[in-house]
Chain A
Amino acid sequence: MRAANRFAAVLRNLLLAAAAIAMAFPFYWMATSALKTNDEIWRFPPTLWPQEALWSNFADAWQAAPFARYMFNSVFVAGTIVVLQILNSGMMAYALTHMRFRLKGFFTALVLVGYMVPATAVYLPGYVILGKLHLLNTYAGLIVSNSVSVFSIFLIRQAFLQVSHELVEAGKVDGASHLRILWTIIAPLTRSSFAVLALIAFIEQYNNYFWPMLITKDPDLQLVSAGLRSFFVEGGAYGLKWPLIMAASAFTIAPLLALFLVGQRTIMRSVDLAAGASKG
């Protein structure tokens, strides 16, 4: 019996290790391909580790396209959006949970409808409307059009529902305004939900590709995904310079992996919250 148990444990570990390697291998392959020379990368069979590691590929790729600019754009746009989403989700969720007004039911239903409609389906009319507002090809357009997220509102609403309404009443008795109650009493209590919002929204917006690509044609405004893709198609000449392309992919991915390492607890908590939110 004991031997069988031990065998099962070993088997389980082996299977898990195999799965983990399979999942992580593309990243390893990216990193080692980025270090190879153009000769070595076309050799068959491929080498698991470059014969001579060409670290200069990273510097070459960095200079081959305005990646510093792309990254700045991604971080700036994503960061601003996070701040805006924290503000408007907080206020909206507060109104929906701790204030009384006639349209409350209607607004809650609207948010629910928004949850069901696929965002990508309204990109075409959204594009036309953005054009009418003269916001195509601007930072403002990139930021404003993504400044609200139904998911974020939902997440914060769910957190605020857990906060006792008596706290709000007590704040009112002390003469505090609603804004004060929201940001000094309720928000600190639910800060873990806000942290989840910030991290998820940042990752989503940093990686965002389809919509930003549609509404900005100016290369100076490209986010990192679109910039990398145009480098892949033009600068990389579709696969003639694989080591440089892999190097560029690597430094695009690196900041996110770092952020993920730092924020992994928060991300894991988002799962708990999302699982809770799914039960309505």
Chain B
Amino acid sequence: MNRFRLGGELKALLFTLPAMVPLTLFWFVPLGYVVYLSFTEWDFMSPDKLFVGLDNYRNLLVDPAFYQALRVTALFCLGSVVPVIVIGLSLALLFNGRMRAGAFYRLLMFSPWVTPTVAVSIVWSWIYEPEVGLANSVLRGVGLEGIRWLQDPQWALVGVLIVTVWKSAGWCMIFYLVALRNIPSDLLEAAELDGAGGWRKLVSVTLPLISPTTFFLVIVQFIQAMQAYDQINVLTQGGPAGSTRTLLYLYYQSAFDAFRIGEASSVAIALIVGCVLLSLVSFFVGRRTVHYS
């Protein structure tokens, strides 16, 4: 009997191996390794890593570039998450209800999400072309001045955000469509009998009932925003003057352009701590405030 049970344990472990081996090699070991690297000074080449304790973190806390990246990351997160959610929900509300050609519209709006970020960012960099690009042609067409979208530190982040929002809004819309479809119609009818108008129904019935979806989308979008790389790399490479350099981009530049591995690793830790905190906070806040039926 004992041997039989041991065999069962072994079999189960064998079943987990194909996933656990790569997961350990490329996820958990690197996670520990980056913590260690953040306490060292290293340049990729030299055979030895110099242990420097908390120096990297101390330097980070007095580095203006770090605070700039922190600010850009916060702006990037808010500037992408809020519009994506608002546009996604508005589109879904517009859709809700039966309509001809609905499937076709849905398809059009969802397509940006499927296509490679690099390719669509290249298309957008042509749209943003200052002289004859589509964006400035439209602006001039309505009598405004053209903008140097990606070269002007004041506008570059906006340019990157537009691409980011364009790419994800349709995706959020689909999630909201599912959520709206799952609202029991008798609840809405009951509200109508009580004399609630369209707006009132939206605020007191629909929005609370779809709050789990909103909550889920906010988290997913936040984590995606923290990890945004492709569009920044194609459109601005963190510039001009660092105006689109997020934490992730700073991390990447100090590691693979400046070869300051220790410093880069401490930025990575800041990023990880940010994401984990966000996940934990969302977990607890979600438990309290989100309405699950």
A and B assemble together: yes
Q: Please give, as numbers and ranges, the residues of chain A lying within 8 Å of B111 by CB-CB distance.
A: 23-24, 27, 257, 260
Please measure, in the bound complex, the distance between the C-alpha atom of A28 and the C-alpha atom of B178, giving whole angstroms: 28
Known: A209-B116, A209-B230. A100 touches B37 (CB 8 A): no
Inter-subunit contact B23/A114 (CB<8 Å): yes
Q: Please give, as numbers and ranges, the residues of chain B lying within 8 Å of A257 by CB-CB distance.
A: 111, 114-115
Q: Which residue on B lies nearest to A91, using beta carbons?
A: B15
Please measure, in the bound complex, the distance between the C-alpha atom of A46 and the C-alpha atom of B139, giving whole angstroms: 13
Known: A16-B94, A253-B115. A41 touches B132 (CB 8 A): yes
Query: Chain A nearest CB: distance from B272 CB in Å?
Result: 5
Inter-subunit contact B114/A203 (CB<8 Å): yes
What string of 1s and 0s marks CB contacts (under 8 Å) between A218-261 and chain B?
00000011101100100000010010011001001100110111
Please measure, in the bound complex, the distance between the C-alpha atom of A15 and the C-alpha atom of B22, giving whole angstroms: 48
Please measure, in the bound complex, the distance between the C-alpha atom of A129 and the C-alpha atom of B134, giving whole angstroms: 45
Partner of B120 from the list A26, A259, A260 (CB cut-off 8 Å) is A26
Q: Please give, as numbers and ranges, the residues of chain B lying within 8 Å of A214 by CB-CB distance.
A: 256
Known: A91-B18, A102-B9. A278 touches B212 (CB 8 A): yes
Question: Is the CB of A190 closer than 8 A to any CB of chain B?
Answer: no
Total number of B residues with any Cβ neighbor in A under 8 Å? 86
Interface of A is mostly: helix
Query: Chain A nearest CB: distance from B223 CB in Å?
Result: 6
Please measure, in the bound complex, the distance between the C-alpha atom of A249 and the C-alpha atom of B118, giving whole angstroms: 9
Please measure, in the bound complex, the distance between the C-alpha atom of A39 and the C-alpha atom of B12, giving whole angstroms: 66
Query: Chain A nearest CB: distance from B215 CB in Å?
Result: 8
Known: A46-B132, A124-B34, A124-B265. A92 touches B234 (CB 8 A): no
Please measure, in the bound complex, the distance between the C-alpha atom of A122 and the C-alpha atom of B36, giving whole angstroms: 12
What string of 1s and 0s marks CB contacts (under 8 Å) between A14-36 and chain B?
01110110011011011001000
Question: Is the CB of B82 closer than 8 A to any CB of chain A?
Answer: no
Known: A26-B166, A126-B26. A275 touches B123 (CB 8 A): no
Interface of B is mostly: helix
Inter-subunit contact B116/A256 (CB<8 Å): yes
A23, A33, A214, most chain B CB atoms within 10 A: A23
What string of 1s and 0s marks CB contacts (under 8 Å) between B229-273 and chain A?
110011000000000000010011001100001001100100110
How many interface residues does chain A have, given as a range?
35 or more
Question: Is the CB of B209 closer than 8 A to any CB of chain A?
Answer: no
Question: Is the CB of B137 closer than 8 A to any CB of chain A?
Answer: yes
Question: Is the CB of B292 closer than 8 A to any CB of chain A?
Answer: yes
Please measure, in the bound complex, the distance between the C-alpha atom of A241 and the C-alpha atom of B5, giving whole angstroms: 68
Inter-subunit contact B20/A107 (CB<8 Å): yes
Query: Chain B nearest CB: distance from A85 CB in Å?
Result: 9
Interface residues of A in 31-53 (CB under 8 A from B): 33, 41-46
Query: Chain B nearest CB: distance from A169 CB in Å?
Result: 14
Query: Chain B nearest CB: distance from A146 CB in Å?
Result: 8
Inter-subunit contact A19/B134 (CB<8 Å): no
Question: Is the CB of B55 closer than 8 A to any CB of chain A?
Answer: no
Question: Is the CB of A105 closer than 8 A to any CB of chain B?
Answer: no
Question: Is the CB of B25 closer than 8 A to any CB of chain A?
Answer: yes
Inter-subunit contact A253/B120 (CB<8 Å): yes
Inter-subunit contact B223/A99 (CB<8 Å): no
Inter-subunit contact B132/A121 (CB<8 Å): no
Inter-subunit contact B127/A99 (CB<8 Å): no
Partner of A122 from the list B11, B27, B166 (CB cut-off 8 Å) is B27
Inter-subunit contact A249/B119 (CB<8 Å): yes
Question: Is the CB of A69 closer than 8 A to any CB of chain B?
Answer: no
Q: Please give, as numbers and ranges, the residues of chain A lying within 8 Å of B248 by CB-CB distance.
A: 120-121
Q: Which residue on A lies nearest to B13, using beta carbons?
A: A101
A107, A144, A252, A275, most chain B CB atoms within 10 A: A275
Question: Is the CB of A210 closer than 8 A to any CB of chain B?
Answer: yes
Inter-subunit contact B126/A246 (CB<8 Å): yes
Interface residues of B in 2-41 (CB under 8 A from A): 8-9, 11-13, 15-16, 18-20, 22-23, 25-31, 33-34, 37
Known: A129-B29, A207-B117. 5 other contacts (CB 8 A): A23-B112, A101-B13, A111-B23, A121-B251, A229-B234
27 contacts between A and B (CB under 8 A): A16-B95, A16-B105, A19-B105, A20-B108, A26-B112, A42-B132, A46-B132, A46-B137, A92-B18, A110-B28, A114-B23, A116-B279, A119-B227, A120-B229, A125-B29, A130-B26, A148-B27, A150-B27, A178-B11, A207-B118, A209-B230, A225-B230, A229-B233, A246-B123, A272-B178, A275-B213, A279-B212
